[in-house]
Amino acid sequence: MQKKIIRFEPPERLKQLPPYLFAEIDRKKRELIAKGRDVIDLGVGDPDLPTPDFIVEALSEAAKDPKNHRYALDTGMPVFRESIADFFQKRFRARLDPAEEILPLIGSKEGIAHLPLAILNSGDVALIPDPGYPPYRSGTLFAGGVPYFMPLLESNDFLPDLGAIPSDILKKAKLIYMNYPNNPTSAVASKAFFEDVIDFAYEHQLLVAQDAAYCEVGYEGYEAPSILEIEGAKEIAVEFHSLSKTFNMTGWRVGFAAGNTEALALLAKVKSNVDSGIFQAIQWAAKKALDEGERAHQALLKIYQKRRDTLVQGFRNIGWNFAPPPATFYCWIPVPPGYTSAELALQFLEQMSIVVTPGNGFGPHGEGYFRISLTISETRLEEAVGRIAKSHTHPHKK
């Protein structure tokens, strides 16, 4: 029989995704590395330091136990859920029922991206920050939902202006994503703002999905609030947490959601049809990190804070001023006049062999900014500032 080749055209849901904006930079970066250039990558949002030893050892021990080799419970080990509940109690004074108000995840991205499948009917609107983490949009599109983008403007401290969302949009909205401390802007939200969000959600009958991936990355003693500290929040909100950034565990794939029981049960139902739980050895190690990780966490914060101060001071010394981020490991820096974000990123790469992330890659309102990640050594940050000082691309040389 004649075997006719099938052409796999992307289905509509994939065609709706925006083009990958960093493709050009990735290509150029590889090209320069191949040419032997010493490229400094300030683009990646992935901790450079290893997972603390005591966590790796907990994994290694648990991996030897055959009880952990079988399918895990879809909704996570009860002992892990109890550790998570203790974390909320200790850190935020928020009381959560480990059985019903907590759901372990295969990394928080997994839950963030699956949530719309659990909450939206096709045509329902999800309110999404712009600039923002891409899965809010892609998860919504995969579920047949309609994204409505809320601009995060510097003039409003990179908080969405809830009053500016049109009422016809609000009538169709079921879900609102929040992300504080924020990637990419590094902005933080106060408890008062979260109170407004919760009031707004009750008024318009929305589920709030607050992405707290950077909740534990704050400087000079800053400790971000949880939205679940707000009275009435757990009846209308879920919050996503991650061990990735707190304990250098991005590759491990473990996080958790907490809050509204029904929303979590619906999310668990979606998940039980697509995954079969988190490797139990990883859950034991994650429990160890939550129970005993405070010292390692504090040591990591010191390192990021030193890097942050080195970078901010280095830029200041060459006449380029921006406010130090209060949280996250990102600096969100305005692009000097005369460049678009993409032009600036390309110039940094071509002239200085430095990778930065152009803000427009996070959404149209990211235009006019670029992001530098502190997941690289102080020496390399200093080297980067040195290269910028010698170049023509800074605001007082144009």
Ligand X SMILES: *Cc1c(COP(=O)(O)O)cnc(C)c1O
Which residues lie near ligand X (CB under 6 A)?
45, 107-109, 133, 179, 183, 211, 213, 242, 244-245, 250, 255
With contact defined as beta carbons under 8 Å apart, do 104 and 87 qualify?
no
What is the secondary structure of 162-177 as a DSSP string? Answer: GGGS-HHHHHHEEEEE
Nearer residue to ligand X within complex by CB, 92 or 252: 252
Find the shortest distance in angstroms from Cβ 2 to ligand X.
46
Nearer residue to ligand X within complex by CB, 98 or 255: 255
Nearer residue to ligand X within complex by CB, 200 or 252: 252
CA-CA distance, 121 to 45, in Å (whole number)?
Answer: 32
Nearer residue to ligand X within complex by CB, 43 or 314: 43
| Amino acid identity at 31 | E
CA-CA distance, 177 to 158, in Å (whole number)?
Answer: 14
CA-CA distance, 25 to 30, in Å (whole number)?
Answer: 9
Radius of gyration of the chain (CA): 22
Nearer residue to ligand X within complex by CB, 210 or 280: 210
Nearer residue to ligand X within complex by CB, 113 or 388: 113
Q: What are the φ and ψ backbone dihedral angles of 308, each rounded to 5 degrees?
A: -60, -50
Find the shortest distance in angstroms from Cβ 371 to ligand X.
11
With contact defined as beta carbons under 8 Å apart, do 25 and 358 qualify?
yes
Nearer residue to ligand X within complex by CB, 151 or 336: 151
Nearer residue to ligand X within complex by CB, 186 or 280: 186
Residues in the chain: 398
Find the shortest distance in angstroms from Cβ 81 to ligand X.
17
Find the shortest distance in angstroms from Cβ 42 to ligand X.
16
CA-CA distance, 64 to 281, in Å (whole number)?
Answer: 9
Nearer residue to ligand X within complex by CB, 182 or 341: 182
Q: Give the single-character DSSP code of 126.
A: E
Token pair of 343, please? 């032009």
Find the shortest distance in angstroms from Cβ 394 to ligand X.
27
Token pair of 186, please? 């590094």
CA-CA distance, 113 to 132, in Å (whole number)?
Answer: 13
CA-CA distance, 333 to 185, in Å (whole number)?
Answer: 9
With contact defined as beta carbons under 8 Å apart, do 267 and 316 qualify?
no
Q: Which helix (H) or strand (E) holds 96?
A: none
Residue 376: CB atoms within 10 A of its CB come to 20
Cα 66-72-73 angle, rounded to 5 deg: 140
